[in-house]
């Protein structure tokens, strides 16, 4: 499955006009209207690689599962299957899951899972007066959420267009809007949430071959989530492509973000119990009358959801580069192998993060060396072709 991205671009003006009569046709005026953008290139090389991490995104073709259920005499609320959009959507689906819980008379809840989805669900419950215990087999930094690129990408590895329903679409749109607003309010050093410019790179004119999920039909899911795009043409940007489409994007630093979610959860009286569950009967034995299932990929076996499967992703990280503070998508190679995405880079305080892999139903946590080489070599080629910034005299 291709990583889902969305771009809304305006039309480009004509670059040249022909003259009537026998006068020779003038050449198009390719002089950029705006001065070239000055950006520091990433110093991409193999000797700067410091680690490669692998994470298994919990994907359902029909999209995330968010609904109430029964488990014996307990209220069970499912909140899992966010694909590559767990960091993006968690505050929204967490609030909606908490709303189901408020219909119960009790104010004691168990949350299963301590990744982004579990932690934000727990915090949304606490904000509504619940006494919450998180039960989990692992806690940050040893959860899948710590392995994510962690930009605001609410359509990443999320849903197969043909499986969408009006009801699910409505859930998604509400969850995305809630999460988008919440992440904006968390911006700052405490949570490691910030804004940076994203540059989508291509040699094709903007608007050709775009769309959600590589040609999905149906009503747009991205309405209201775009922050506006600016098309930079030849000579207006330093990248080795004809076009760079610039748009602001929320960046999340997973290690900072998750650690402080845990800290806030505990400050508000929450408890974390290290425990693994094998069957629903184990959950039914918990003392809390409300159980929030945020178990991610674990729900496949725990609740026999065979539609749930992993999208294996891996990130290769290079030495941090504080003078780089932007994100890139592309350029996309003409003939990608199955499981490959367009390359992407995000600058974070813990490193320069390079990605571009989504391998469907692959369960191994071992890095794919072919994919690692493809992603790193493509970034080396791209950044080595960038124009150097102008020397600034003091």
Whether the predicted pLDDT of 127 surpasses 90: yes
Q: What is the pLDDT of residue 125?
A: 98
Cα angle 207, 312, 272 (rounded to 5 degrees) comes to 115
Tell if the pTM clears 0.85, that is, is over it.
yes
**CB-based contact 328:40 (threshold 8 Å):** no
pLDDT at position 170, please? 96
Question: Please, which pLDDT band fits residue 205 given cuts at 50, 70 and 90?
Answer: confident
Res. 216: pLDDT tops 50: no
* 134 close to 108: Cβ distance less than 8 angstroms: no
Mean pLDDT of the 69-74 span: 96
What's the chain's length in residues? 394
Answer yes or no: is pLDDT of 16 > 60.
Answer: no
Structure confidence at residue 335 (pLDDT): 61
Tens of pLDDT along 178-204? 999 999 999 999 999 999 999 999 998
Exposed/middle/buried for residue 36 (C-beta within 10 Å: 0-12, 13-18, 19+): middle
pLDDT, tens digit, 9 for 90 and up, residues 228-264: 899 999 999 999 999 999 999 999 999 999 999 999 9
Confidence check: pLDDT of 7 > 80:
no
Domain 60-197+253-307, CATH 3.40.50.720 — does that match? yes
Q: What is the mean pLDDT of residues 298-308?
A: 97
Q: Provide the pLDDT confidence category of residue 35 given band limits of 50, 70 and 90.
A: confident
Tokens of 85: 């959009």
Compute the distance between CA of residue 272 and CA of residue 132 in angstroms, rounded to an integer.
9
Domain boundaries, the chain: 46-57+203-247+311-384, 60-197+253-307
Query: What's the average model confidence in pLDDT over 372-383?
Result: 96
Buried b (16+ CB within 10 A) or exposed e, 303-327: bebeebbbbbbbbbbbeebeebebb
Q: Which two tokens stand for residue 337?
A: 């192998």
**Rounded to an integer, what distance in angstroms lies between the CA atom of residue 10 and that of residue 7?**
10
């Amino acid at each position: 499955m291709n990583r889902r991205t969305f771009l809304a671009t305006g039309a480009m003006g004509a670059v040249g006009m022909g003259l009537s009569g026998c006068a020779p046709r003038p050449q198009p005026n390719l002089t950029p209207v705006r001065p070239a953008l000055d950006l520091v290139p990433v110093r991409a090389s193999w000797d700067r690689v410091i680690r490669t991490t692998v994470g298994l995104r919990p994907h359902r073709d029909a999209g995330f599962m968010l609904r109430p259920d029964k488990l014996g005499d307990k209220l069970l609320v499912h909140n899992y299957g966010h694909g590559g959009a767990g960091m993006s959507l968690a505050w929204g689906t967490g609030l909606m899951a908490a709303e189901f819980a408020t219909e119960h008379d009790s104010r004691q809840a168990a949350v299963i899972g301590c990744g982004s989805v579990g932690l934000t669900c727990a915090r949304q419950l606490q904000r509504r007066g619940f006494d919450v215990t998180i039960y989990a087999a692992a806690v940050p930094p040893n959860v899948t959420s710590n392995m994510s690129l962690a930009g605001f990408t609410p359509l990443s590895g999320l849903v197969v267009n043909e499986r969408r329903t009006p009801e699910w679409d409505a859930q998604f749109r509400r969850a995305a809007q809630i999460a988008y607003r919440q992440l904006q309010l968390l911006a700052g050093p405490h949570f490691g949430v910030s804004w940076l410019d994203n540059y989508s790179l291509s040699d094709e004119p903007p608007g050709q071959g775009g769309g959600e999920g590589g040609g999905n039909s149906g009503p747009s899911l991205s309405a209201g989530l775009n922050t506006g795009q600016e098309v930079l043409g030849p000579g207006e940007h330093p990248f080795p492509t004809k076009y760079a489409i610039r748009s602001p994007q929320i960046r999340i630093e997973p290690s900072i973000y998750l650690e402080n979610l845990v800290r806030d959860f505990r400050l508000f009286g929450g408890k974390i119990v290290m425990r693994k569950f094998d069957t629903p009967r184990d959950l039914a034995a918990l003392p809390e009358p409300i159980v929030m299932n945020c178990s991610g990929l674990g729900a496949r076996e725990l609740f026999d959801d065979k539609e749930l499967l992993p999208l294996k992703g891996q990130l290769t990280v290079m030495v941090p580069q504080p003078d780089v503070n932007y994100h890139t998508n592309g350029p996309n190679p003409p003939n990608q192998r199955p499981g490959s995405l367009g390359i992407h880079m995000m600058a974070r305080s813990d490193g320069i993060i390079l990605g571009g892999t989504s391998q469907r139903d692959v369960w191994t946590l071992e890095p794919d060396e072919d994919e690692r080489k493809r992603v790193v070599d493509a970034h080396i080629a791209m950044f080595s072709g960038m124009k150097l910034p102008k020397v600034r005299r003091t």
